[in-house]
Amino acid sequence: MDSSDLTPEQIAALIERLTPTLGYLTKLGERMDRRGFAGDSVRDKVSTAKNAMQDLVMTLRYVNTPGTGSHR
């Protein structure tokens, strides 16, 4: 099994579950920036986690979409 075996319903459920965490990480990073966490290792990890989550959500949006290299 791989991502091309996911049904549209499964993809939608994954995206629905991941989106609140992505929003939380985005807001957390913004709050940390306002409080002067620039260059802090924890702030860097928050940014890395947010970027990875955003990449995952975007990848899921295009699973099984012709022309994206990730379809049946």
Q: What is the DSSP string of 34-48?
A: HTT-TT-HHHHHHHH
Instruction: Please indicate, yes or no, whether the overall pTM of this predicted structure exceeds 0.75.
Output: yes
Two structure tokens written together for 53: 């989550």
At 55-64, the pLDDT tens digits run 999 999 998 7
Type of residue found at 12: A
pLDDT higher than threshold 70 for residue 66: no
Please provide the DSSP assignment of 47-60 as one string.
Answer: HHHHHHHHHHHHHH
Which position has the token pair 């609140």? 20
* Integer Cα distance of 36 and 40 in angstroms: 9
Decide: helix, strand or coil at residue 30: helix
Q: What single letter denotes the amino acid at residue 27?
A: K
Q: Is the pLDDT of residue 71 over 50?
A: no
